[in-house]
A and B are shown apart, each in its own frame.
Chain A
């Protein structure tokens, strides 16, 4: 049945409006970083890069704002650690669920997926409570001060790791499932050791998935707010620093500058991961 032309145009207009709705807040957040004004609002006062590079108040630029820079540093630091840990654990989980058979496999698989459907706030408070219970117990029974179990970077890393591992496991398992086991068997028959097969055949095949799992984990860790907020100590990552600034100081264009940097950074990383996926695996 042919759709009448005017209906089709209405439909297209709807889709167009929808995409405008999608980009509107992002454009607004980005554009006002370049407005030469003390407030992120109209009228347009002319183009400036002061909110990035100016070293003096009142337009202290992002790259001279020590607290924001420290937040950025903390975010990168946490993101790299969390991504590395969750890719390592995700790889183990992928091999476990794709290659091995064991009792209660279906049940354990559901347990692996569960962290994705627990709200981030709950993951945060439950890990906070549990860590404090252990720390209090160690303090009372043995007189040990386990400071890493109090809010701070180690707990933030653990909190983000707890749900990112599900994502990395799923990404890596999907790739491992496509692997033809006959390739490994052939190599073993030709006399290669198990480790050699893993390093020269299986691992190179998995590499694109490992890379994109790493990028995804890094990005999600970088942007995470809910879980992090519950576990954060004095070393706040960028999202928490920015939120603090928003609530206490109100919105200033330097926050728009932060938004621009965040959008550019995550856009480039996401693009990179798409490109690597395409290049490495033309067949799949």
Chain B
């Protein structure tokens, strides 16, 4: 009886999992793959082939949007790592016990605020009639109000802002596990501050760096609000193209093609990152 009950409970527990992953993740992904392979040739008549992909790579605007999204996402990831690492190190290693928890919580606060509110905050700060421009004028530092929105620098600043917490949190939790004796040993053996950092701290923090970079990159490449609100109409962001094809132009075949390409591209980057550093997806993402 025990075995039968075990089997039954296994099936009962497996059923919701299978329904969830099957109906909401796997089949829909196969669905967009399928739609991306078909071309409308008439009313309810379709032909199948790689025409949509050929059209994508034949059109420089689309190609460049993907490249641009990729390159800005990589830049954002690198910046988030460079800017976030000192903060994470400070929280994990330099701050006193009491302030550590407070600082960590402070890091998490913006995490709970919607992307929309954060982007809106940047708009209030940066636009031509915004806080920074007005303040600079009234201080006499600049003669006329300047528009700081709608350029690439602002998009990068906004994106780094949106994703940097996802870099800091895994870094803090990895660095907290590091024994200070390791550092002392490094110094005692005559290592300079830089050598100790490069040979001890960075290798130790590697799992955190990898998971932070993966999550950050995914979020940046898949982001929609920040590039559009801060970059304006001509931000040419890839998710914006997907939205336009699907909702504005109602061209689902092209939209699905773009979706498959974005998913393929981000998966490729994540896979390469994991392979290069010898980490696995389950341990990297599921740690939080």
A residues in contact (CB < 8 Å) with B = 1, 11-12, 14-15, 18-19, 21-29, 32, 39-43, 88-89, 92-93, 95-96, 100, 102, 106, 108-123, 125-130, 133, 158, 161-162, 165, 170, 219, 222-223, 225-226, 229-230, 239, 242-243, 246, 251, 255-256, 259, 262-263, 266-267, 269-270, 274
Q: For the complex, count residues of B whose C-beta is within 8 A of A.
A: 82
How far, in whole Å, are A118 and B106 apart by their CA atoms in the complex?
Answer: 28
Query: Are B32's CB and A267's CB within 8 A?
Result: no
How far, in whole Å, are A148 and B131 apart by their CA atoms in the complex?
Answer: 45
B28 close to chain A: CB less than 8 A: yes
**Given A25-B124, A263-B117, 5 new contacts (CB under 8 A):** A42-B135, A110-B282, A111-B25, A114-B281, A274-B105
Q: A117-B214, A119-B266, A246-B120 are in contact. Are A108 and B24 (CB under 8 A)?
A: no
Question: Top 10 closest A-B pairs, CB basis?
Answer: A119-B222, A25-B121, A126-B28, A29-B121, A223-B114, A130-B28, A162-B24, A130-B31, A96-B13, A42-B134
Chain B nearest Cβ from A21, distance in angstroms: 7
How far, in whole Å, are A15 and B99 apart by their CA atoms in the complex?
Answer: 13
Chain A nearest Cβ from B134, distance in angstroms: 4
Closest A residue, CB atoms, query B29: A126
Given the complex, which residues of A lie within 8 Å of B187, measured CB to CB? 1
Query: Are A242's CB and B121's CB within 8 A?
Result: no
How far, in whole Å, are A170 and B283 apart by their CA atoms in the complex?
Answer: 12
Closest A residue, CB atoms, query B23: A130
Closest A residue, CB atoms, query B19: A89
Chain A nearest Cβ from B2, distance in angstroms: 11
Query: Are B281's CB and A110's CB within 8 A?
Result: yes
Q: A121-B222, A170-B286 are in contact. Are A225 and B115 (CB under 8 A)?
A: yes
Query: Are A40's CB and B214's CB within 8 A?
Result: no
Query: Are B13's CB and A100's CB within 8 A?
Result: yes
Given the complex, which residues of A lie within 8 Å of B148, measured CB to CB? none
Query: Are A226's CB and B113's CB within 8 A?
Result: no
Query: Are B193's CB and A1's CB within 8 A?
Result: yes
Given the complex, which residues of A lie within 8 Å of B83, measured CB to CB? 18
